Amino acid sequence: MHRFIIIFFFGLPAFADDPFERPPINYSKSKPDNIIERLKLKLESNLVDWTKEKNTGYLRGLLKALDISIESQTLVYSKTSFQAKLIGPSRPRALYFNDDIYVGYVPKSNLLELSVADPKLGAVFYTFDQDNISLERETSDCLSCHGTSRTGHTPGHLLRSVTTKPNGHIIFRAGTELVNHTTEYGHRWGGWYADGTRLPAQNHANLHGKITSEDDLSFVKYNEKEQLSNFFDSELYLSNHSDVVALMVQDHQVEMHNLFAKANHRTRVAIHYQKIMDEALNRDSTCLSESTSSIIANMGDKLLSYLLFTNEIPLPNPIKGSTNFEKIFSQRKPRDNMNRSLYELDLETRLLKYPCSYLIYSDTFEQLPVQMKDYLYKKLWDILNDTDPSYPIKVKNSKDRKNIKEILLSTKSDLPKYWKI
C-alpha cells in the first residue's frame, strides 16, 4: 500500500555533530517552551483529572487539554511508527492534530505519541505513558528520521508516500516520496484510510500493493463505498472516520512547520557565526553581512513561496469530507471586519479560499528572528501590492492579493508601519 507517514518514527539516536545540536540551537540541551511542556508541569503537579475510558484510555482527556478536535482524526495502517507491530489494516494508527500539535494513538498500547512545532527548536517529540500518567520528551531516537536531510537537517515532521503489502509492511522496491501540498494527488495518502462523499480522483488511499507470481507489482483498491468501520473495530477509536479534508490540511501544514523551523535555525546560526567573525575582525556587527543577508533571503523566499501556495497542485474535482472537520476548521478566528478568515476552506479547486497559510498566526511564525520577519514582511508587502516585477514569487490573481492584504491588515497586530500607510 502506498503510505504517507507523519511524525514520530523512533529509531537510531541522533549524533552530537548534527548541526541543530551545536550553538546557538543546542536542541537536546535546550528546554522547550510549548503547550506540551506546560501540560507536563500540570501532570507532575497532579493538577489534571482525566477519566480513563475502557478502550481509548486517556486519549479523549489529552486531546481536550491540548484543544485538538476528534474530527481531525486520520487513520494510517502502514507499519512505520515505533509501535509498528501493533499497526495494520485491521488496527490502524490514529492521528489527531491542531495548528501546532500532533497526537498518535494505537489501540492496545499504553503509549500515546506526541509532537509539537516548538517556536525555537522545531519539532519536539514526547511519549505519554497512560499507566503512569506522565509525559516524557524524546531527544534522540526520533531524530534518526526527523533530523536528517529529509527534514533539511532540522528537527521536523515527515509525510511520506510508500507502498505496502496487505498486512501493512512496506514494499521498499516501490520507492518513497515526501508529501506536501505540491504533491500530485495520485501520489498521496497511500497506506491511509480516507473517507468523504467526494474524494480527489486517482488518490492512493484505501489500497494495498500485491506482488504477483511473475514478480510484478499491482494494486488492490478497497471499496470506497464501504464504511471504514468495516475494516477495523471502530469501538477502539474516538471516531470511525479518516476525513479527506483533514488529510489535505495535514498535507499543507506539516511542511509549513518544517520551513518555519529551518528559517528560524538558519537565521540564528548565520547571525551567530557573523557575530563570531565580527568580533574576531573587530567589525561593526549592527549590520547584516552579505553572507547572512543571502542566507535569510534564500530561506525566506522558500518560506514565502510555500506560505502563498504558489506551487499548490489544483484539485482534480471538488472535495467533501465525512465529518464536521471542514465546518469547525473554516469557522476559526481571527476574522476581519468583513468576517473573512485565512482558515476558510475552498475545496472546489484548491485547499484555502484565500491562498495564504493560516499558520502565519502561529507562534512558530511570530517567534521567527526579527531579521527573518523583516525580510518576510517586506517581500510579502511587495507581492501583495505587485510592486516588484522581477521578484519570482507572485500571487497572480489580483482579487486574491487584495483579499489577503485586507485580512492581514485587520488581523495581524505586528505588521510594519509601512503596511498601514
Cell 501540560: give the residue.
39
pLDDT of res. 201: 85
For residues 16 and 143, is the Cβ–Cβ distance under 8 A? no
pLDDT of res. 234: 94
For residues 326 and 247, is the Cβ–Cβ distance under 8 A? no
**pLDDT tens column, 119-171:** 999 999 999 999 999 999 988 677 666 656 777 778 888 888 777 788 888 88
For the chain, the structural domain boundaries read: 3-245, 255-420
Residue 163 CA, distance from chain mean position: 21
Q: Which residues contact 338 (CB under 8 A, 6 or more apart)?
A: 406
Count of H helices and E strands in the chain?
Answer: 9, 12
Q: Which residues contact 22 (CB under 8 A, 6 or more apart)?
A: none
pLDDT of res. 5: 46
d(CA 214, CA 26): 52
- End-to-end, the C-alpha distance of the chain in Å comes to 54
- Helix ranges (DSSP H) in 281-397: 290-307, 325-330, 363-366, 370-385
- Quick check: bond before 24 cis, omega within 30? yes
For residues 262 and 150, is the Cβ–Cβ distance under 8 A? no
SS3 309: coil
d(CA 346, CA 360): 18
Residue 5 CA, distance from chain mean position: 11
Residue 7 CA, distance from chain mean position: 9
What sign has the CA pseudo-torsion 125, 10, 99, 57? negative
DSSP per-residue codes, 42-73 = HHHTT------BTTTBTHHHHHHHTT--GGG-
Q: Which residues contact 249 (CB under 8 A, 6 or more apart)?
A: 325, 329, 351
Neighbours of 349 (CB within 10 A): 12
d(CA 31, CA 418): 36
DSSP state of 243: B
Cell 479523549: give the residue.
60
DSSP per-residue codes, 116-141 = EEETTTEEEEEEEETTTTEEEEE-ST
SS3 81: coil
Listed as ranges, residues in the chain with pLDDT below 70 are 1-16, 140, 143-148, 213-215, 223-225
H or E segment to which residue 251 belongs = helix 244-280
d(CA 397, CA 142): 41
Task: State the pTM of this model.
Answer: 0.92
Amino acid letter at 382? D
pLDDT of res. 16: 53
d(CA 340, CA 331): 9
Torsion (CA) 197, 201, 206, 209 in degrees, nearest 10: 170
For residues 107 and 87, is the Cβ–Cβ distance under 8 A? no
Q: In what order do the strands lie in the sheet containing 3-6?
A: 3-6, 159-162, 176-178
Cell of 304: 514565502
DSSP state of 235: G
Cell 511519549: give the residue.
127
SS3 174: helix
